[in-house]
Amino acid sequence: MTSNVPVTYQEVFRTDRGVVYQCDASNRLILEFWDTHTQLSARDFAQFRRMVETVDIRQMALSTAAEHDVEILTPPRSERCYVLTLCEVVHLRELLTGAKLMLELNAMLRECGCTLSE
């Protein structure tokens, strides 16, 4: 999953299921999840994270209706479509929340004149 990573990509956050990179050359965040690879602007990344955060996982866990077995999410301005089970939603949420935290840390460090990594 992490082989052949372009040199302009900097790892923001990683879990067992995926990685979020930042590419300063293209000003994009790159989401690698399972075998998918999606490039997003900072705005679209935040919007997609909120979409994932607002998935009703309690309903997915408790409902016996087939329609609640999976959640279909499409990142903004992307042709990709994620069809996620409950576990995958939780894994994706963990990845995106971790990435958000690291991006916030980077912003705080930059305000102090430091950087997370170069």
Partner 1 sequence: MKDLARLRTSVKESVELALNQQIQMEMISSSKYLAMAGWCDRNGLDYSAGFFYKQSEEERKHGMKLFHYLCDQGGTAYSPEIPAVSQEFDSLRSVFEGALDQEIAVSDSINRIIGICRRENDYATEELLKWYVREQVEEEYIARRCLELIDQIPADQVYYLDKKLASVTYDGNPFE
Q: Which two tokens stand for residue 65?
A: 């209706």
Q: Which residues pair with 31 in a beta bridge?
A: 20, 38
To partner 1, the closest distance from the beta carbon of 118 in angstroms equals 7
Question: What is the rounded distance in angstroms from the CA atom of residue 13 to the CA atom of residue 102?
Answer: 7
Q: Smaller CB distance to partner 1: residue 2 or 110?
A: 110
Q: Smaller CB distance to partner 1: residue 55 or 116?
A: 116
Task: Say whether residue 42 binds partner 1 (CB under 8 A).
Answer: yes
* Binder of partner 1 out of 14, 15, 39, 41 (CB under 8 A): 41
Q: Smaller CB distance to partner 1: residue 81 or 107?
A: 107
Number of residues that bind partner 1 (CB under 8 A): 19
Residues 53-92 that bind partner 1 (CB under 8 A): none
